[in-house]
Structure 1
Amino acid sequence: MRHALALAALIALSACGLSPMYAGGSSATVAQGLAAVDIPAIQGQSGWLVRNALQDRLGAAGKTTPVYRLDVRLDDSLEALGVLNDDTISRERRILRARYQLIELATGKVILDATAGSDAGIDVVSSEYATIAAEQKALENLALKLAEQMATQVSLALRTRAAAAQ
């Protein structure tokens, strides 16, 4: 009975249309496409953090000849949320947004034009050092979240492109 249920589950799973994005490991079409993405320098500290996180996610540290370029424009802002009666700030929100385009270098065609974003709340405390450290850590975390969102969308775009070519 158990074997029959397991067999039925496997048949149902294979019929659902899901397939692994990175099937084939580093020789997979998507993995090779990701490794061929050039990420030009992005302005500012937030740009440096996002670019490094993207390079880690995409595996694009100069391993292959670039086929694509990922252009990224960031908007990093810090706004006061909680203002006390004495006009001191008690809470801040750090917002990091990105507009990015994946461009095929050979043709100049835009393959993906998308946005990503995230925000984090920060408590403002009496220690200026602690507040600055919290703002910095929030920026680092937001850069990682943005890079993850962007890498996922780029992967999906490359997968769709590879499926259309077959």
Structure 2
Amino acid sequence: MRRTLSLGVAFLALSACQLRPLYSGGGGGPVAQSLRSVQVSPIGGRAGWLVRTALQDRLGGEVDSPRYRLEVELDDQITGFGIRSDDVVTRERRTLRARYRLVDSARGTVLVDATAGSDAGIDVVSSEYATVAAEQTALERLSREIADQIVTRLGLYISRTGPSR
């Protein structure tokens, strides 16, 4: 009896917290529809192309009549550390940071101004080709992670403010 009562209280507490799924309604829900109306501005460089492509994949592709414009500036750096006694770098850290702004296309108002970032460790090996390949693979993974962070933050903004704002 006591256990049943405890479970009942727990379920009531959970229903009182008002948690709701971000993408309720699936692809036809208000958040998903609003995200499909975001146009991603061009971003320079290889990292920019990767991030823009990942963002477009997550947002639904090119937009004919965008409600929002997403502007992204990237900072991509590789730092060597793990230096041996003969001054050879044995480890690198690739860091990708993005400053992004969600702009209302009609009014030109900045709705969200935030940052996202991620980093990855890379082993430096004797083969220069293998090291360059590892750096490129890290950049591809970081680009996807940045895009995920940005889309999640935009989804949260839209769910809190409503798609019509």
Q: TM-score, normalised by structure 1?
A: 0.89
Superposed displacement of residue 81, structure 1: 0.8
Could you tell me which residue of structure 2 aligns to residue 26 of structure 1? 27
Cα drift, residue 12 of structure 1: 3.0
Partner residue, 1:39: 40
The equivalent residue for 2:112 is: 112
Which residue is 1:151 aligned to?
A: 151
Tell me if the contact between 1:35 and 1:64 (Cα under 8 Å) persists in the aligned partners: no
1:102-134 deviations in Å (ceiling 9; x for gaps):
000011111100001111111100011111111
1:163/1:56 Cα in 2 relative to 1: closer, same or farther (>3 Å)? closer
Following superposition, the deviation at residue 27 of structure 1 comes to: 2.2
Distance 1:164 1:108, change over 3 A: closer
8 Å Cα contact 2:30/2:163 also seen in 1: no
Q: How does 1:7-156 map to 2 (within 5 A)?
A: 9-59=10-60, 61-62=61-62, 65-156=65-156
- Number of aligned positions between the proteins: 164
| 2:31 and 2:163 in contact (8 A); partners too | no
Q: Deviations over 1:15-40 (max 9, x none)?
A: 11111111112221111110000001
Segments of 5+ residues of structure 1 without an aligned counterpart are none
Counting aligned pairs with the same residue, the percent is: 53
TM-score by length of 2: 0.90
Superposed structure 1 runs of 4+ greater than 6 Å apart: 1-6
Q: CA deviation at 1:146?
A: 0.6
RMSD of aligned residue pairs (Cα, Å): 2.0
Query: CA–CA distance in 1 between the matches of 2:105 and 2:71?
Result: 12
The code of the aligned residue for 2:99 comes to: R
CA distance, structure 1, for counterparts of residue 7 and residue 36 of structure 2: 37
Q: Distance in 2 between matches of 1:27 and 1:144?
A: 24
Q: CA deviation at 1:7?
A: 5.6
Distance apart, 1:160 and its partner CA: 1.6
What displacement does 1:10 show?
4.0
Distance 1:164 1:136 in 2: 39
Structure-2 separation of matches of 1:128 and 1:108: 46
Give SS of 2:76's match. strand
